[in-house]
Amino acid sequence: MKYNLIEMPACNMCGSGRRRDIGLRLSGRTGLRPRKASGVAIPVKQCADCQMIYLDPMPIPINIRDHYDMKPENYFDEGHLQAWPAFDNNRLSEVMEFRPGMKAVDVGAGVGVHMISYEKAGWDVWGIEPSESFVRYGIDRLGIDPSRLLQQEFENNTLPSESFDLVSFGAVLEHLPSPARALEAACRLLRPGGIILADIPSSTFLIARLINLFYRLNGTPFVTNVSPMHPPFHLYEFTHHSFAKNGKRTGYELAKHQYWVTTLYNVPKTLDPWVRFVLTKTGLGDGLRVLLRKL
């Protein structure tokens, strides 16, 4: 794969140029023997004002298809290629009153399984997905309406302005070169009072900090944060402060946020529930969910 290296002198979300170096991220996985790891190393920074983690320079593939235009079976696990249960509208109850037929956009819709979930829950839903192979799978294998699952880049989408009640980013913003630009596009689509729902990786994850300490004790500068040149191709990690500050620049407010735990690797099953409980209670899990309201 070939990459363009884009200079990132300031935080994409809050605009601050104040940051600190936290280490180097390799182009491949570092593993448990960091002294034997090799690859291209990219400097990793953390914003001093909103604590977002990012890379400078930012490696962006010359052809985005190199990362995502692959067979869905090779990118998603089997469960993700099947229709999921209905979306839980209760997760929005504190920030909006749901009415059947409200309009939603699923950004980074993949093969469209989340679109099916939203539809089952009563939403009138569209999906935006840049990968041709993912869109084709959704239309051919899952029966998604081709007029609803659009192969486009979200930042340049053709959907009508101020026509939607919800824009959902399910594990998407961390993949985009400019999350701030995507949030601007989301605000364009929303009616006043509309909601952005985003699930993103947290920069406060305790286990990542412990792994970074392990690398330091081994005399290496590596970190485990982000993964710009290998799956899952993450470019950013966030805190809720990132959205609170970006909202002032973009035109939304942080209505609610929650830190949680997604998947724990290399943790014994007997300890898993206890580790989850501690990480959730302390806000040091790997996941962050934010609900943003357009002003």
Question: Which pLDDT score, from 0 to 100, does residue 69 have?
Answer: 66
Pairing of strands 124-128, 103-107: parallel
| Max Cα–Cα distance, the chain, nearest Å | 57
Per-residue pLDDT tens for 229-271? Answer: 998 899 999 999 999 999 999 999 999 999 999 888 778 889 8
What is the pLDDT at residue 163? 98
In tens, the pLDDT along 276-292 reads 999 999 999 999 999 99
Q: What pLDDT, on the 0 to 100 scale, is given for residue 128?
A: 98
Q: Using CA atoms, how far apart are residues 159 and 154, in angstroms rounded to an integer?
A: 9
What DSSP letter does each residue of the chain carry, written as one string?
A: --EEEE---S-TTT----EEEEEEEESS--TT-GGG--S-EEEEEEETTT--EEESSEEEESSTHHHH-S-HHHHS-GGGGSPPPPP-GGGGTTT----TT-EEEEET-TTSHHHHHHHHTT-EEEEE---HHHHHHHHHHS---TTTEE-S-GGG--SPTT-EEEEEEES-GGGSS-HHHHHHHHHHHEEEEEEEEEEEEBTT-HHHHHHHHHHHHTT--B--S--TTSTT----BB-HHHHHHHHHHHTEEEEEEEEE-----S--TTTHHHHHHHHHHHT-SSEEEEEEEE-
Provide the β-strand partners of residue 253. 293
CATH number of the domain enclosing 29: 3.40.50.150
pLDDT of the residue at 68:
65
State yes or no: cis peptide before 57, omega within 30 of 0.
yes
Query: Is residue 196 predicted with pLDDT exceeding 90?
Result: yes
Calculate Rg over the CA atoms of the chain: 19
Q: What is the pLDDT of residue 245?
A: 98
pLDDT at 173: 98
Count: domains in the chain: 1
Please say if the pLDDT value at position 67 is more than 70: no
Q: Are strands 287-294 and 252-260 parallel, antiparallel or unpaired?
A: antiparallel
Q: How far apart are CA 247 and CA 52, in angstroms?
A: 15
For residue 72, cis peptide bond before it (omega within 30 degrees of 0): no
Q: Which domain holds residue 236?
A: 3-294
Contact 108, 76 (CB under 8 A): no
pLDDT at 103 over 90: yes
* Residue 71, pLDDT above cutoff 80: no
Q: Considering Cα of 111, then 116, then 118, then 124, what sign does the dihedral take?
A: positive
pTM of the model: 0.93
The mean pLDDT of 92-101, rounded to a whole number, is 96
pLDDT tens string 117-140: 999 999 999 999 999 999 999 999
